A and B are shown apart, each in its own frame.
Chain A
């Protein structure tokens, strides 16, 4: 006998049947939710939406082109944003006071203005600088250069850089200083420490917020419609100005945005799991780790 013997003064419950607690309020809430949802579905089903139009325009070539432009702008503006953000973050963390100040100024300025306003400023840059270029070597008329595509890329990318700079800076400062000391101790130079030790570990912290920013950027590209960049919202509005199927065209856009955001979220989850390899809680392949 392993167990200690105890006196039988109190009755044993070993063979008595057990009954779980009831949750009547859960049933009430669940039924209310289903009823509310059913009402919504019915409202859209009987509402004045020509679903056949939605189906027809979902694959229209103009819409597909607009969607492709949306994706292209998201990718390019985000790339520009991350590059600028990385440079600004490194400048803010550098020991050069001039670089620090310049980076802080950049972040202050471009985080301080609405994206809508920034897009208009870039698009109308010719009103400030009629020509731009490198004096004596090359110059061009700003009107010719600042196409809707270029203005959208700069407007969205430069603004994104200001936000991303703060995300990257937070990621870099989250890395344990002991990691840097250990890297220096084996003779790594400052640039090698940053590239091989600090940034890869910062990436784990940076990825979730950057994922959010990518999803945000996908939707912000719609603002570029204001400078007539040919993304999906702009295309859709050109179509409904002609055929008057406003809601149907907007639903087409909704479908594309939701589909893309779903894919991006899945991709983000996969990337985060990959970056978390080897962290605490991740099981070793074999044997026990104590």
Chain B
């Protein structure tokens, strides 16, 4: 079976800074894959590469068996056109740390916009679907609120509904709870748990260790642009093999308990 995501020796640098120094991993269809690691370890960049928000310098990166960002033709890799890139991005949904809801649109318009103008769905149908998606993330009746009138947790759940409205094969979460007040984190995690329960393919970059332990199938630890360790969640947290992973988990546990 073709993996949902396959990365082989992916490298990426911003100027002199090597952000990804040869990352290899595969995510199976239906798997919930967690990535943890200190800030600056390259985990967000890796996620952004999967969605072509960044372009990799070298290595192979496949999403659903399709090479990301380029197409192989007469023995050479041709950069995708704007149209092809959009079509490819449509199949992955992205949830950002800072929500990035369209500030000039209501919650419902945020969710319905993609289906209407990218998937060419009739407005009425898109709005009906948008309402039911907002209901599912627990935002009944808040359809006409603008982002500035919603709490951070509510905004992030609108963002999740917006990503799901495109019916993506893979959902990418880039530290979805890092910008939230502590008491708002649980609602968002609950929504994500619910999605995981539906058998969706998800890649989650997070600092929420309990979420990674309880919800993710496999968890990877990244540090300084490298994938240090990757294992089934229970094994990863129960018996981490690498010293660096153990140090990181210990430090994070210490701060959460304090």
Contact = CB atoms under 8 A, between A and B. Distances in A.
Contacts of A24: none
B166 A187 contact: yes
Contact of B90 (A186, A192, A277, A289): A186
Contacts of B166: 186-187
B146 A279 contact: yes
A282 B104 contact: no
A282 B149 contact: yes
Interface string B33-65: 000000000000000000111000000000000
A182 B102 contact: yes
A281 to B, nearest CB: 8
Given A188-B86, A192-B117, A196-B113, A182 B149 contact: no
Contacts of A282: 146, 148-149
Q: In the complex, which of the residues A179, A184, A282, A285 has the most CB atoms of chain B within 10 Å of its own CB atom?
A: A184
A50 interface: no
Q: Could you say which of A186, A204, A289 has the most chain B C-beta atoms within 10 Å of its C-beta?
A: A186
Interface string B159-186: 1001101100000000000000000000
Contacts of A182: 94, 96, 100-102, 159, 162
A190 B51 CA distance: 15
A278 interface: yes
B151 interface: yes
A279 B96 contact: no
Interface residues of A, number: 30
B47 to A, nearest CB: 11
A201 B103 contact: yes
Q: Give the one of B103, B114, B145 with max A CB within 10 A.
A: B103
Interface residues of B, number: 38
A178 interface: yes
B140 to A, nearest CB: 12
Given A181-B96, A183-B102, A186-B93, A278 B147 contact: yes
A91 to B, nearest CB: 18
Contacts of B89: 184-187
Q: Per DSSP, are chain B's interface residues mostly helix, strand or loop, or mixed?
A: loop
B51 A278 contact: no
Given A188-B117, A289-B151, A279 B51 contact: no
A277 B106 CA distance: 10
Contacts of A96: none
B193 to A, nearest CB: 22
Nearest to A182: B100
B86 to A, nearest CB: 5
Q: In the complex, which of the residues B51, B53, B104 has the most CB atoms of chain A within 10 Å of its own CB atom?
A: B104
Contacts of A176: 100, 103
20 contacts: A178-B96, A179-B100, A181-B94, A182-B96, A182-B100, A182-B102, A182-B162, A184-B53, A185-B93, A186-B90, A186-B93, A186-B163, A186-B166, A187-B166, A189-B83, A196-B117, A201-B103, A278-B103, A278-B106, A279-B148
**9 closest cross-chain pairs (CB), A and B:** A278-B146, A187-B90, A182-B100, A186-B114, A185-B94, A178-B100, A284-B149, A289-B149, A280-B148
